[in-house]
Amino acid sequence: MEFSRDPERTPYQWDNSTSAGFSSSKKTNYKTLNLAAQKAAAVSHYKVFKSLSRLKRKPVIEQGSLQTVLVTEKILGVIRRHGASVVALMVNFADTPVIVDARTWMNIPEQLIIYASSVHSELLAGSNVDTTCISMPGSTSVVFTTADLVQ
């Protein structure tokens, strides 16, 4: 089980009823890890997925240019551009926070908005960010966009 992917292949738990309606087993964490709880939470994997699903239908993702940049030894940057629209993804592979001037390294606007971020990053979607001094929490991914892409 240490190297198995089987725990990730279990059925998605729909609510907090016993075993989320799939069986009478008491071995699952269905009371806290289920779709109903993720829909109700302020920040959840479900909400990040829904947000990114909306973004992928935008012309900047469908038709935009693609550039990848190694921002620092531990930060990967991916930029999509289409007209005035910009989407910038930053991934911090370090376990510790890193402060970076993403504007210079990624050639992106000085002000962007957090579109989505890793669930435990404590970075809130909709927040304005000065890209000349971004503090990236450890083991975090963040998607930044121009204001025209925010719903």
Mean of pLDDT values over 119-132: 95
pLDDT at 16: 75
- Name which residue leads in pLDDT, 109 or 24: 109
- Cα–Cα distance measured from residue 71 to residue 81, given in angstroms and rounded to the nearest whole number: 17
Architecture of domain 48-149: Sandwich (2.60)
Give residue limits of the domains in the chain.
Answer: 6-40, 48-149
Average pLDDT over residues 113-124: 95
Judge whether residue 1 has pLDDT over 60: no
What's the pTM?
0.82
Q: What is the mean pLDDT of residues 13-21?
A: 70
- Rounded to 5 degrees, φ, ψ at 54 are -65, -40
Q: What is the mean pLDDT of the chain?
A: 89
